[in-house]
Amino acid sequence: MFLKNQWYAAALMSELETGRPVGRVICGEPVVMFRTESGTLAALEDRCPHRYAPLSKGECIGESIACPYHGIRFGPSGECTLIPQQSTIPSLMRVKSYPLVEKWGWAWIWLGDPKAADPASIPNYWWFDAPGWKSFRRLFHLNANYELCADNLLDLSHTPFLHKTSVGVPEMVTIPFETRVEGNTVYQYRVMENVRPSPFVAEWGQFKGNINRRATVTWVPAANISAELIYEDADTSITIMLTNPLTPETEKSTHVWFAWSRNFGSDDPNDPMSKRFEAQSLQILEEDLSLMEDQQRIMDQAGEFRPAIISSDATLVQARRVLDRLRKQELSA
Amino acid sequence: MFLKNQWYAAALMSELETGRPVGRVICGEPVVMFRTESGTLAALEDRCPHRYAPLSKGECIGESIACPYHGIRFGPSGECTLIPQQSTIPSLMRVKSYPLVEKWGWAWIWLGDPKAADPASIPNYWWFDAPGWKSFRRLFHLNANYELCADNLLDLSHTPFLHKTSVGVPEMVTIPFETRVEGNTVYQYRVMENVRPSPFVAEWGQFKGNINRRATVTWVPAANISAELIYEDADTSITIMLTNPLTPETEKSTHVWFAWSRNFGSDDPNDPMSKRFEAQSLQILEEDLSLMEDQQRIMDQAGEFRPAIISSDATLVQARRVLDRLRKQELSA
Amino acid sequence: MFLKNQWYAAALMSELETGRPVGRVICGEPVVMFRTESGTLAALEDRCPHRYAPLSKGECIGESIACPYHGIRFGPSGECTLIPQQSTIPSLMRVKSYPLVEKWGWAWIWLGDPKAADPASIPNYWWFDAPGWKSFRRLFHLNANYELCADNLLDLSHTPFLHKTSVGVPEMVTIPFETRVEGNTVYQYRVMENVRPSPFVAEWGQFKGNINRRATVTWVPAANISAELIYEDADTSITIMLTNPLTPETEKSTHVWFAWSRNFGSDDPNDPMSKRFEAQSLQILEEDLSLMEDQQRIMDQAGEFRPAIISSDATLVQARRVLDRLRKQELSA
């Protein structure tokens, strides 16, 4: 069961600026998203009621999207605006529409009760709008449930094992962390003082000796995860933000958004430091995605998922509890 | 549910002239077709009763087909003609046989009650046998229900949208048409007078000015569709016939036969006019097939198909009504 | 339903000597096999109880296997030997273990009651350990039930048809054979006296004239098949052993082990005679595998398997009867 009364990162705004519609299945629902000529953002059911053709294979024309099959057009609220073959519009000729809101470079969709759709509850990813910050973003497709992906990001004690050839450092297993729940948000804090920076970090911050590190991972339901990584010594403080909104496609597949932002270094997306980081990120992500698809396959074989809990699961257990509570709320609503 | 008491175009005669058996699933039933040494046409269940090997991977020998696995042979009426391993033939060792009739270059199969199999009810595609007519034929495989394909051919108001870079002309949306039902046959008529011919048509007919066009689409159940397209001025009249017998493979896949015939122009299948038409036909067909596979996928996701009807659906609605009536007849028989 | 109280050839010992774990699904159960540093053979459930990652993607470390995801380790009896993230080990943190025994170059697994696992019931393939015998082995993957594969090996009257371009000789259809059942073992005997050797056999045995042939096929449940082929004249006797333990993967797929052994000729695995035999074996096996996958597909379409029996099925019918009896025994145990 998907949570419908939540905002999901559904498309990059750059995808919607092309003038072409974007079709994507979100929480099991086929959706077409587009921006009209006048700039309105629209998300509609991706199924023409006439003969079930996908509107996302059609064209944006003025304030409407036209079906690729017979040219029937629909406006941003799902109303039919033109049937080329006739002048009257039957009442059945309309599609569902969904709130779609631009924020932090993404278009966020709300699949539940439109009256409850408050854009203020979109996660606060201020760094995408702040001066001095540089970001890149990617979309990955994962053949596994989104909760498996959230688990991965909320328990970094896996890094020395799964990513041992790249970012894994043995200490990640034993560094103590704190979990805090505030309302529906779950935080994980880690502090390391007077530690040696990795070669990458030393180069980024021009650190000569040991540094202090602080990491805060934030989980906002349904599955929006961000991590603030601060590296500092007496002279310098640099910050990296990782942003991972996870958007369920089906019960067994996920749109994994990945963004990396920094408040230091070159503005040039092609400078060697950026390129190197990007290449490394992609390797790490592939290791994660491949393992999660194995998990999904094994869960499917087993027909159930009853994990044995260990101490490093403390944060993800809290996140899964919030989800359970929210699911019960939606079911009883 | 498939209609069994109908003729389905099952194979090209040219496929059966090779001396090798043709295996094909038709209306969910695996069938092997072959021509015996003496010329008899045979269609059998494509499953050896001994150990369920496909007879279609075997060999035609004399008046029989031999199983590829243990060499057991079956004749045109499904009787076992040889068991190499023993001299007696047990009564279970036989396969179903089906009426298979040659007509218009196809072998037509009848899966229902053999006593009702009257070859006179095979659609009349006289142009394949008439002097002066040139044809080419192809077989396409579609991952969608055959009714979606019939819908496509019975509502040409889709052409300006789906085929806008090729044959689509905006007028197709608004040209009035007439639908007529005679028994189980559905006709669609369109007349356009004093219109400008497309460049292709002008070249084919050597037309200097405007022409009159008449189009008659004919649907014969279960899903045999043909279109007669007449282009004429005071001096010349040329005709193109499109022939599309649609043969269900499964509930979600179809053998799409495509033939194009003309009563004018060169006899040479390699002349530039023929080649150009063929290339264009294939592009159009690919656009259609891809859209229909999208429809099937969306229907499967939706779990139902309750289309909203518009005026251009008038003909296909009649065809679907005839199908419903025939299905009820077969169910109550 | 699989027989669990049987030994299945699960891995080649050479696969386990690499120090890397081998993951394989056997009778529907995901299994990881490895050899510890001290030489112990281990077979465990291939699913970490922590978060369902596949242990087979992990590493062998000392006497344990470490999960690829969070480094949790398990020893040969399934006990957790290390949780890197904490010092206590919860009781749920253990995996199933299975008896795994080395014999004749394979590791044999027992999925049923461990108390009943007597290595003495592993089939006797003495030729892999006997001096003067040369063997090669391969593993094939078949998308069909293992019983279809056993059927194939127990009725060689298929060879003149399915393998007519290679080993098929017409006489195989009519040579009389004898079937004998001893306990759970089924034997098939064939004797041919004063027959002409095939060119291959003539070359192998340096036979100048006619020879006598004796073939004994042995089936041991669940599906271990071997064939002893003896070719001899007054001066010479040569023997080929074919060894085919069939290990079910799922109800519709099988690990097909194939081994060929001989007590004559060169020891060099690259000599032309060996190479030629190997190439021919692979062609034959591909013909068999392809046909069996067709059978499985047709059985799936038909929804049942009620074969019509002929005389050459006499041996396989006995084997299937033993299987039925053993299945009933396991169900009633």
Crossing angle of helices C146-154 and C272-302, rounded to 10°: 120
- Residue B294 to residue A30, Cβ atoms within 8 A: no
At B278, the pLDDT band (50, 70, 90 cuts) reads: confident
- The answer, yes or no, to whether residue A114 has pLDDT greater than 80, is yes
Res A47: pLDDT: 98
What tens digit of pLDDT does each residue of A267-322 get? 887 888 778 878 888 888 999 999 999 999 999 999 988 999 999 999 999 999 99
Question: For chain A, which domains are there?
Answer: 7-121 (2.102.10.10), 130-332 (3.90.380.10)
Q: Is C152 helix (H, G, I), strand (E, B) or coil?
A: helix
Q: Which residues are registered as beta bridge partners of A225?
A: A219, A244
d(CA B231, CA B191): 10
Instruction: Enumerate neighbours of C (3 or more CB pairs within 8 A).
Output: A, B
What tens digit of pLDDT does each residue of A37-76 get? 999 999 999 999 999 999 999 999 999 999 999 999 999 9
CA distances from C140 to C159, C199, C277 (A): 20, 28, 17
Structural contact between residues A34 and A21, judged by C-beta atoms closer than 8 angstroms: yes
Q: Which residue of A has its CA nearest to C53?
A: A295
Structural contact between residues A29 and A39, judged by C-beta atoms closer than 8 angstroms: no
- Give percent above pLDDT 70 in chain A: 99
d(CA B308, CA A93): 6
Contacts of C295 in chain B (CB under 8 A): 51-53
Contacts of B308 in chain A (CB under 8 A): 49-50, 90, 92-93
Q: Is C204 helix (H, G, I), strand (E, B) or coil?
A: helix
CA A153 to chain centre: 12
At B277, the pLDDT band (50, 70, 90 cuts) reads: confident
Q: Which residue of A has its CA nearest to B300?
A: A52
Is beta strand B7-12 parallel, antiparallel or unpaired with respect to A253-262?
unpaired
Shortest alpha-carbon distance between residue A49 and chain B (Å): 6
Residues of chain C with pLDDT under 50: none
What tens digit of pLDDT does each residue of C136-161 get? 899 999 999 999 999 999 999 999 89
- Average pLDDT over chain B reads 94
Closest CB from B52, B69, B93 relative to C302: B52
Range list of H helices, chain C: 13-16, 146-154, 159-162, 199-205, 272-302, 314-332
Q: How many CB atoms lie within 10 A of CB B264?
A: 17
Res B170: pLDDT: 77
Sign (positive/negative) of CA torsion B93, B98, B103, B106?
negative
Stated length of chain C: 333
Contacts of A177 in chain C (CB under 8 A): none
Closest CB from B30, B49, B70 relative to C157: B70
Q: Which two tokens stand for residue A261?
A: 């932002």
Q: How many CB atoms lie within 10 A of CB B52?
A: 23
Instruction: Enumerate neighbours of B (3 or more CB pairs within 8 A).
Output: A, C
Q: Which of B171, B190, B252, B294 to mutate to test the interface with A (most CBs of A within 10 A)?
A: B294
What tens digit of pLDDT does each residue of A71-89 get? 999 999 999 999 999 999 9
- The answer, yes or no, to whether residue B168 has pLDDT greater than 70, is no
Sign (positive/negative) of CA torsion C62, C64, C67, C73?
negative
DSSP B165: T
d(CA B22, CA B35): 10
- Average pLDDT over chain A reads 94
Task: Identify the contact set of chain B against chain A, taking CB-CB distances under 8 A.
Answer: 148, 151, 155, 157-158, 160-162, 173-174, 291, 294-295, 298-299, 301-302, 305, 307-312
At A167, the pLDDT band (50, 70, 90 cuts) reads: low
Q: Which residue of B has its CA nearest to A91?
A: B308
Structural contact between residues C71 and A161, judged by C-beta atoms closer than 8 angstroms: yes
Q: Which two tokens stand for residue A324?
A: 């359970």
Res B167: pLDDT: 66
Shortest alpha-carbon distance between residue B328 and chain C (Å): 25
Residue reference for tokens 């076992």: B80
At B69, the pLDDT band (50, 70, 90 cuts) reads: very high
What tens digit of pLDDT does each residue of C92-114 get? 999 999 999 999 999 999 999 99
Q: Which two tokens stand for residue C101?
A: 């025994």
- Residue B291 to residue A67, Cβ atoms within 8 A: no
Instruction: Enumerate neighbours of A (3 or more CB pairs within 8 A).
Output: B, C
Mean pLDDT to the nearest integer, B246-255: 98
Shortest alpha-carbon distance between residue B179 and chain A (Å): 16
Contacts of C83 in chain A (CB under 8 A): 310
- Residue B295 to residue A67, Cβ atoms within 8 A: no
